[in-house]
Amino acid sequence: MKIGILTIGNELMNGRIADTNASFIAREANQQGWSVEAIMSVGDDFAAIKNRLDYLLAMTDAVICSGGLGPTADDITTEAIAQAFGLPLYTDENVLNFIKEIFTKFNFRWMENNAKQAMFPEGAEVIPNARGTAPGFCLPVKEKFIFVIPGVPAEAKLMITNGVIPLLRKHFPQDELYIIKQTIRTFGLSEAAVDNRVKDIDFNSLGVSIGFYPVFPENHIVLIAQNQNREDAQKNLQKALDDVSSR
């Protein structure tokens, strides 16, 4: 499966906060055996959000978006996505009541703009948020999917793990793979020297990917085997390990 990642917010574009969501989503996607085709960021702008979504959907099966689900005027992600695909917005009364209960529980003053967080594009499936007031959603678009979650990292991480990944597995069951990793730590060799020693190994034929990561004073080699059969994944990884170790 091919995944695109789009993080949304003016605060990302002006450098006020670091984009930790994109790296987390990419790691989680790779651990599932999915390919991250592109990672992009965009400000809170209707035309720009549509442009980036069109670009990412053209090359992927699903796009995961984070940010712009709050109650303020610059939180436009839901409206921008609905507008981009000509969909009306609707208010989910169950979500609205849930948000109001949170405000009552913590004695927060209710403002009408908070109701914005209970609005979704027609056809969207709500993704619950156990750590905040803004749920996310999954929207099917032309046999592809757009997933939208809040930008708050603690909320985003939980919703990726408990919401987005299970839904992706549900919609793309044929893409489920067994993923096995192994790290080999080397010492006394440069990154280039390590690469030169293993350059003749045909990792692709084994269904194994290789990555080089300098961790001074060591160089780490990370091997990742992917296969629909667990035993084959383990066998291929062991073959790659033996080939690397022999050099």
pLDDT-derived band at 175, boundaries 50, 70, 90: low
In this model, does residue 181 exceed pLDDT 80? yes
pTM for the structure as a whole: 0.83
CA separation for the pair 49, 232 (Å, rounded):
42
- The proportion of the chain whose per-residue pLDDT surpasses 90, expressed as a percent, equals 69
Of 66-75, 141-150, 155-164, 202-211, the one with minimum mean pLDDT is: 202-211
- In the chain, what is the straight-line distance between the N-terminal and C-terminal CA atoms, in Å? 33
Tokens 């670009």, residue located: 55
pLDDT-derived band at 142, boundaries 50, 70, 90: confident
CA separation for the pair 125, 220 (Å, rounded):
41
User: What are the backbone angles phi and psi of residue 36, rounded to the nearest 5°?
Assistant: -85, 110
Residue 225's H or E segment, with its range, is: strand 218-227
- pLDDT at position 9 is 97
- Summarised one tens digit per residue, pLDDT across range 42-51 is 999 999 999 9
- pLDDT at position 211 is 86
In this model, does residue 27 exceed pLDDT 70? yes
Provide the residue type at 35 as one letter: S
Given its phi and psi angles, is residue 107 left (phi above 0), alpha (psi -120 to 50 degrees) or beta? left
- pLDDT at position 176 is 67
The whole-number average pLDDT for the span 79-89 is 97
3-state secondary structure at position 130: coil
3-state secondary structure at position 245: helix
3-state secondary structure at position 93: helix
- pLDDT at position 40 is 98
Q: Which residue has the higher pLDDT, 15 or 227?
A: 15
In this model, does residue 230 exceed pLDDT 90? no
Tokens 């913590």, residue located: 106
The whole-number average pLDDT for the span 128-145 is 95
The whole-number average pLDDT for the span 154-171 is 95
The whole-number average pLDDT for the span 10-14 is 95
Mean predicted lDDT score pLDDT of the chain: 93
Q: Which residues on adjacent β-strands are paired with residue 222?
A: 183, 211
CA separation for the pair 110, 99 (Å, rounded):
10
Tokens 């091997």, residue located: 223
The whole-number average pLDDT for the span 59-67 is 97
